[in-house]
């Protein structure tokens, strides 16, 4: 299936990969570009490169919003030859540099039942670790445009980065915000996730285009509503833990549904006991 970028703001383009509905954002400046996330496989990344080249001939810098396979396994295809800078949070960079086999195995296990063909590709994918680790915040000059990479705190993972393009009023949220499905809590910090999303909201205006990790672009009101759900989820976990309720009881009341709520409850209980 042919994929293409759609302009969502001034020289900011979004491509949605059809299989997992992952969003990739392309920011174009004068003589330079920024590519946020690189999809799952060499094949997907090649299609992504073709789609990006249909928008701009400029060399790109790459950003990974986090270390999960659908956001960074295309790094080698898009940034190895010729070598291009790849930015990510330092913990995401460390995972891809120090534990590539573990990252590949986790990806394979996650997807093998639902997408066995994709899982087989993931198992053989060459991983390229980020070259430029970010701790808290880094500002980039993308062809005369200021773009800010920011770690808003633990949420979907311990290594989330958001990408803010102030002159276009665009915020790329990665999997800290999800549209069209519940957030993924498997490696999350559900008690801290509300604070991370609150940091995102401080960067938004009523007109901000927010690009979630998956699904359609949204606005600040959508993010505010999802923040309220994260707050509710956090309160349920704390109350359940205080009352010695089983995680299943917390999950039954989750605003994200019982399946996601159960994973969130287990992760939240682990946070409270210091084992997350």
Q: Which two tokens stand for residue 41?
A: 């496989």
- The label of the residue with tokens 């639902």 reads 114
Give residue 1's pLDDT.
52
Question: Does the pLDDT of residue 70 top 60, yes or no?
Answer: yes
> What is the Cα–Cα distance from 118 to 96, expressed in whole angstroms?
19
CB-based burial label for 61 (10 Å; 0-12, 13-18, 19+)? buried
The 10s digit of each residue's pLDDT in 160-202 is 999 999 999 999 999 999 999 999 999 999 999 999 999 999 9
Regarding the domain delimited by 6-219, which CATH topology (the fold level of the hierarchy) does it fall under? Answer: Metallo-beta-lactamase; Chain A (3.60.15)
Give residue 250's pLDDT.
97
Give residue 276's pLDDT.
87
Question: Does the pLDDT of residue 159 top 90, yes or no?
Answer: yes
User: How much is the average pLDDT of 54-81?
Assistant: 98
Residues 6+ apart with CB under 8 A from 84: 59, 60, 61, 62, 78
> What is the Cα–Cα distance from 171 to 201, expressed in whole angstroms?
10
The 10s digit of each residue's pLDDT in 197-226 is 999 999 999 999 999 999 999 999 999 999
Residues 6+ apart with CB under 8 A from 167: 10, 145, 146
- Please, what is the average pLDDT of the chain? 97
> What is the Cα–Cα distance from 15 to 37, expressed in whole angstroms?
10
Look at residues 139, 155, 24 and name the one whose alpha carbon lies nearest to residue 91.
155
Cβ atoms within 10 Å, residue 107: 23
DSSP 253: T
User: How much is the average pLDDT of 143-162?
Assistant: 98
- The label of the residue with tokens 């042919």 reads 2
DSSP 126: P
> What is the Cα–Cα distance from 184 to 65, expressed in whole angstroms?
14
Look at residues 209, 189, 194 and name the one whose alpha carbon lies nearest to residue 91.
189
Give residue 190's pLDDT.
98
Give residue 2's pLDDT.
76
In the chain, pLDDT over 90 holds for what percent of residues? Answer: 98
> What is the Cα–Cα distance from 12 to 5, expressed in whole angstroms?
9
> What is the Cα–Cα distance from 40 to 52, expressed in whole angstroms?
16
Q: Which two tokens stand for residue 224?
A: 């505010």
> What is the Cα–Cα distance from 55 to 51, expressed in whole angstroms?
7
Look at residues 194, 214, 199, 200 and name the one whose alpha carbon lies nearest to residue 268.
194
Strand ranges across the sheet with 137-142: 137-142, 145-150, 162-165, 170-174, 209-212
Residue boundaries of the structural domains of the chain? 6-219
> 119 phi and psi, to 5 degrees?
-60, -40
């Amino acid at each position: 299936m042919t994929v293409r970028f759609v302009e969502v703001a001034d020289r900011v383009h979004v491509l949605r990969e059809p299989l997992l509905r992952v969003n990739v954002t392309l920011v174009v400046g004068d003589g330079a570009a920024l590519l946020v996330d690189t999809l799952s496989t060499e094949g997907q990344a090649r299609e992504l490169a073709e789609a990006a080249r249909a928008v701009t001939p400029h060399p790109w810098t790459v950003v990974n919003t986090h270390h999960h396979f659908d956001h960074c396994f295309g790094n080698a295809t898009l940034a190895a030859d010729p070598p291009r800078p790849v930015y990510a949070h330092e913990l995401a960079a460390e995972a891809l540099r120090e534990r590539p086999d573990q990252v590949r195995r986790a990806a394979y296990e996650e997807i093998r039942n639902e997408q066995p063909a994709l899982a087989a590709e993931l198992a053989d994918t060459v991983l390229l670790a980020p070259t430029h680790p970010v701790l808290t915040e880094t500002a980039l000059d993308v062809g005369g445009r200021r773009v800010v990479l920011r770690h808003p705190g633990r949420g979907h993972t311990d290594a989330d980065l958001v990408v803010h393009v102030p002159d276009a009023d665009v915020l790329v949220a990665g999997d800290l915000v999800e549209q069209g499905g519940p957030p993924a809590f498997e490696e999350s910090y559900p008690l801290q996730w509300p604070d991370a999303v609150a940091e995102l909201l401080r960067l938004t205006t009523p007109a901000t285009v927010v690009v979630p990790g998956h699904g359609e672009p949204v606005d600040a009101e959508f993010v505010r509503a999802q923040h309220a759900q994260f707050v509710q989820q956090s309160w349920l976990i704390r109350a359940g833990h205080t009352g010695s309720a089983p995680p299943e009881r917390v999950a039954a009341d989750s605003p994200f549904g019982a399946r996601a709520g159960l994973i969130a409850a287990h992760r939240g209980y682990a946070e409270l006991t210091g084992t997350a």
